[in-house]
Amino acid sequence: MPKENVGTFSLEENIWQGLSLTDAAARQVKKLVEQDPEVKGLQLAVKQSGCAGFAYVLDLTKNPAADDLVYERDGARLYVPLKAMPFIDGTEVDFVREGLNQIFKFNNPRAQHACGCGESFGV
């Protein structure tokens, strides 16, 4: 009987593609950060939630963790906890207007499905 190979990875040793911010997202992050001089940038994390498994969590951060990865565009900083990278690596963060609403959107190549309400995703 052939032996199955099981993939393993180490967060510290992995080579990440990284995250990217569109021009619109970078402008919005900078606008949010300018409101409080203590804020360093926006943190993007994930949590278990919703019917599809995971949800994005965005927060302004004054004290990013030492092991957060930092992605920057035009002075706008996006901080990502290392433990979130297996779920969101390669994601493009955008800021769009949909009717009267303005929201951050996530183009995540690792997301294999999303819930009907758009609040959660699965990998």
Residue 11's pLDDT is 53
Per the document, the length of the chain is 123
As a whole number of angstroms, the distance between CA 92 and CA 105 comes to 8
Q: Per residue in 71-97, pLDDT tens?
A: 999 999 999 999 999 888 999 999 998
One-letter amino acid identity for 20? S
Domain ranges of the chain: 20-122
Could you tell me the CATH superfamily of domain 20-122? HesB-like domain (2.60.300.12)
pTM greater than 0.85 (yes/no): no
Question: For strand 69-73 and strand 53-61, is the pairing parallel, antiparallel, or unpaired?
Answer: unpaired
Tokens standing for residue 67: 């092991």
Residue 102 has pLDDT above 50, yes or no: yes
As a whole number of angstroms, the distance between CA 91 and CA 16 comes to 11
As a whole number of angstroms, the distance between CA 106 and CA 102 comes to 13
Q: Per residue in 25-64, pLDDT tens?
A: 999 999 999 999 999 999 999 888 766 577 889 999 999 9
